[in-house]
Amino acid sequence: MAETGPSRLPDTGLDARSSGIDIRTDIDYREAAQIIARSFEYIRFFTWRYIGKFVLKLGSYALPLALIPWPVKILTDHVILGIPIEEATDYPTYVWPLINALHGSSVLEIIFWLAAIGITLVVLIGSYTTGYEDETEAGLAQGHDYATQVENKIHGGYSTAGGIYGYTEFKLDIRLLQSLNHTLRAQLFSRIGALSMTQLEDQRIGDSIYRVMYDAPQINEIFYELTHTPIMSTVLYLQAVITVLNAYPNNSEIFWMTLAVFPVWVTLSSLFSRPVRRRGQAARAAGAITTSTIEEGMDNVLAVQSLGGNANEKEHFAGDSGESFKRHRAVSLLWMFIGSFGSFVSSAVYWLFLAFILTKVIDGDMTPGDLAALLVYFGYLRGPMMSLSILWVRLQDNVAGMRRVFAMMDLPAEDDLGSIDLPAIQDGVSIKQAGLVYPDGRRALEDVSLDAKIGQIVALVGPTGAGKTSLAYLIPRFHVASEGDVRIDGYAVNQLTLQSLRSQITYVFQETQLFSDSILDNIRYGKPDATLEEVQAAATTAGIDDFIQSLPDGYQTRLGSATSSKLSVGQKQRISIARGLLRDSKILILDEPTSALDPETEQYLVRALHEAAKNRLVI
């Protein structure tokens, strides 16, 4: 049934609906800084690749800054205005060799050499004109949704240069981005899979998918913004200042005008950091809820169709999707306001700068070529100051995503409990006065004792809800007993490493767990190196071999195809049992293994289990 009124939920309400285990979602400035620092630590995995990218990035900014404005000044002063090249003034030191080489050249010769230089630069670093950059990139048409933004963050290489230089930087950039995201995604996916069953029961699958697919790539922005923006902006600004003061040593006002932007904009933009972070968190929670709604609807599609719940599910999805769009609009509107505010500050400085330079030109202290060159340099002076001043605010939306990633990675995994490796099981299981209370306070077990030895078949019998499955879960430590003692061969299960414990226990769940793969690979999932003969022997014991052999593709029949979708529940259950038998572990736990079997098949399976129990414990 659809939940009502999702659009009326506050931000914290969205967080609670998104995940039942990530419950502390609001963070302060100090915690935001810690998340940024932790994200930055991932640089250690790609140190040399990052250094290469950084050097190329620095060059893609520095080379155009050093080279582009001065041919424009030469063209304006000595071609358009006709000022003799021998009377050239106000050039930086490294341009004078070119000026001296052009002495005695005609206007056409100057144009020819400037064209040759321009063509060479286009081939090497791409074409640049005032106010534009030649960009080499690969990305989707991007909107305000996180999906296309994320795909571009992962797969969209970028270089402000073009030509041969830009292609080289682009190729290195896209490899670095994909490697960085793959590393973090793999770590997060592994951590989610290592969470305890109690935790996973409170975690929506769609939210986990959203964190892996859409939150993890936010590390790219933090990674680059935290390294490239401060360093690049500082280097470019100092380079522009040195170049301008070298060419115009008596006009230091140019430097102070652009520098004044920094403290003003830092002070004003800091007011937006918390709203950006909080709205970014809410937008991600709303997106995760929508993803969960889709996943749960598809997973339960047969129940929805059989109970006529399509209208309810449609309404449910429409409400969650609408809420997600609304939250993303709120983020977009906030950034639009910040951008407009920044443009106002930037434009005010620009017009002040333009008025100052025009006054110099009118007074004869500068030439029109100086105006053209300085307007180019003004962008390099103003841009870095604006980038630095808004850096903290720009990181806050990324912090919201990375908070969701690290919150999941910081949850305690099952493997964190024990440190003792369990030797090969020889005796059996001993449970003494065990109790189990769920985190929400519900009691599942109280004062339960059990002794079961290798070679026995032990049946746990009782009404629905009596705690049979909960008791069985204590043995492989799917749940940790709240009271009492659970031991295998005298070792407390809480003190054992998870790998050594579960490698000797096979649990066949009541709900059939099959993968979209061949029947052969499904049966040998727990023992990938098993031969076909071993698989057939396990299938024979489970009473499913004859049926599999009758299929057109036999053991190569893929589950999830049109053929395998016609398997009965009992047939799927027997495939699952065969998988458990093949693993040949010392303890085999079957959760209601005959619930979907007919009486004849059930009797056959029970006889087969007696044979299988000669060298193992079957529960």
Do residues 459 and 355 share a domain? no
Do residues 270 and 175 share a domain? yes
Do residues 474 and 575 share a domain? no
Give the type of residue at 421. D
Q: What is the DSSP letter of 3?
A: P
Q: Which two tokens stand for residue 356?
A: 């100052």
Do residues 379 and 289 share a domain? yes
CATH number for the domain spanning 202: value is 1.20.1560.10
Give the type of residue at 36. I
* Domain-located, residue 612: yes
Q: What is the mean pLDDT of residues 556-561?
A: 78
* R_g of the chain, CA atoms, integer Å: 34
Q: Are 613 and 457 in contact (CB under 8 A)?
A: yes
The Cα–Cα gap between 616 and 587 comes to 6
3-state helix/strand/coil string of 506-517: EEECCCCCCCCC
Q: String of b and e for 130-144 (b: at least 16 CB within 10 Å)? A: eeebbebeeeeeeee
Q: What is the mean pLDDT of residues 400-426?
A: 85
Number of domains in the chain: 3
Do residues 469 and 516 share a domain? no
Q: pLDDT tens digit string along 153-205? A: 666 666 777 778 888 888 888 888 888 888 999 999 988 888 877 777 778 88
Stretch (H or E) spanning 444: strand 443-453
CATH number for the domain spanning 475: value is 3.40.50.300
Predicted local distance difference test score (pLDDT) of residue 30: 87
Do residues 169 and 242 share a domain? yes
Closest C-alpha to 163, from 130, 139, 128, 132? 128
Predicted local distance difference test score (pLDDT) of residue 152: 61
* Domain-located, residue 121: no
Do residues 518 and 489 share a domain? no
Predicted local distance difference test score (pLDDT) of residue 347: 82
Q: What is the mean pLDDT of residues 248-267?
A: 74
Q: pLDDT tens digit string along 431-459? A: 999 999 887 788 888 999 999 999 889 99
Q: Report H helices in 68-106.
A: 69-74, 96-101
To which residue do tokens 């052969």 refer? 520
pLDDT of residue 564 exceeding 80, the answer is no
pLDDT of residue 572 exceeding 50, the answer is yes
Predicted local distance difference test score (pLDDT) of residue 512: 79
Do residues 433 and 402 share a domain? no
In this structure, of 65-69, 151-155, 425-429, the range with the lowest mean pLDDT score is 151-155
The neighbour count for residue 249, using CB atoms within 10 Å, is: 9
Instruction: Please identify, among 360, 393, 409, the residue that sits at the C-terminal boundary of a domain.
Output: 409
Q: Are 559 and 589 in contact (CB under 8 A)?
A: no
Residue 403 Cα to chain centre, angstroms: 11
Q: Report the chain's mean pLDDT, rounded to a whole number.
A: 82
* Domain-located, residue 101: no
The Cα–Cα gap between 386 and 258 comes to 9
Predicted local distance difference test score (pLDDT) of residue 565: 57
* Domain-located, residue 80: no
Q: Which two tokens stand for residue 415?
A: 């493997």
**Percentage with pLDDT > 70 across the chain:** 90
* Domain-located, residue 82: no
What angle (nearest 5°) sits at the alpha carbon of residue 467, between those of residues 461 and 197?
A: 130
- Look at 300 and 428; give whichever has higher pLDDT: 428
Do residues 381 and 251 share a domain? yes
Q: What is the mean pLDDT of residues 88-104?
A: 84
* Domain-located, residue 106: no
In this structure, of 151-165, 468-482, 485-499, 564-578, the range with the lowest mean pLDDT score is 151-165
Length of the chain: 619
The set of residues, in sequence order, having a beta carbon less than 8 Å from that of 135 and lying 6+ positions away, is 158, 159, 160, 162, 166
The Cα–Cα gap between 448 and 446 comes to 6
Predicted local distance difference test score (pLDDT) of residue 150: 64
pTM of the model: 0.74
Q: What is the mean pLDDT of residues 489-513?
A: 88
Q: What is the mean pLDDT of residues 66-76?
A: 80
pLDDT confidence bin for 130, thresholds 50/70/90? very low
Do residues 423 and 392 share a domain? no
Q: Which two tokens stand for residue 288?
A: 């995760």
**Percentage with pLDDT > 90 across the chain:** 14
The Cα–Cα gap between 549 and 234 comes to 71
Instruction: Please identify, among 409, 442, 477, the residue that sits at the C-terminal boundary of a domain.
Output: 409
Q: Report H helices in 194-272.
A: 197-201, 205-210, 218-247, 253-259, 261-269
Could you list the residue range(s) of the whole structural domain that residue 590 is in?
508-618
To which residue do tokens 């190729």 refer? 171
Predicted local distance difference test score (pLDDT) of residue 492: 92
pLDDT confidence bin for 127, thresholds 50/70/90? low
- Look at 258 and 424; give whichever has higher pLDDT: 424
Do residues 355 and 480 share a domain? no
Predicted local distance difference test score (pLDDT) of residue 431: 93
